[in-house]
Amino acid sequence: MRSAERPLSPHLQIYRWQLTSVMSILHRAAGLALCAGSVLLVVWLVAAALGPEAYRGVQNFLGSGIGVALLLGWTAALFYHLCNGIRHLTWDTGHALDLRSTYIGGWVVVLATAILTAAAWAAGISHWVFNFASGF
């Protein structure tokens, strides 16, 4: 029998995802996203060093719809990778490796990511409003 005719495992149509494995692949995806974000950080710093015109170009991009969406995604990726990274560092010490702990830790990371991302953007927006108000 040719191996191509056998069903694939895991059977993707009926596969039940687990929090732990999804969080594992998301950790890597967030890391990749942060690599792209780090390029943006360097572009931002170089533009700031070059002068007002270069800086305005970067700032216009970051202020656009795509730019704001990228910054929001970058913030979420950063907090996720940070919180889940701490979860990984805990595992490296040999602690919290049982199934129950990995699920509790997983949900704590998901919750912390959502709260920290929302808090950072709430703080950023309030500063933005404040800076605009003080500019007039």
Contact segment (CB under 8 A) with other proteins among 4-12, 13-21, 101-109, 128-136 equals: 128-136
Give the nearest distance from C-beta 127 to other proteins in angstroms. Answer: 5
Q: Is 129 in the site for other proteins (CB under 8 A)?
A: yes
- Nearest-Å Rg of the Cα atoms of the chain is 21
Q: Is 127 in the site for other proteins (CB under 8 A)?
A: yes
Residues that bind other proteins (CB under 8 A): 28, 31-32, 34-35, 38-39, 41-42, 45-46, 48-49, 52, 55-56, 59, 75, 78, 82, 85-86, 88-89, 92, 94, 120, 123-125, 127-132, 135
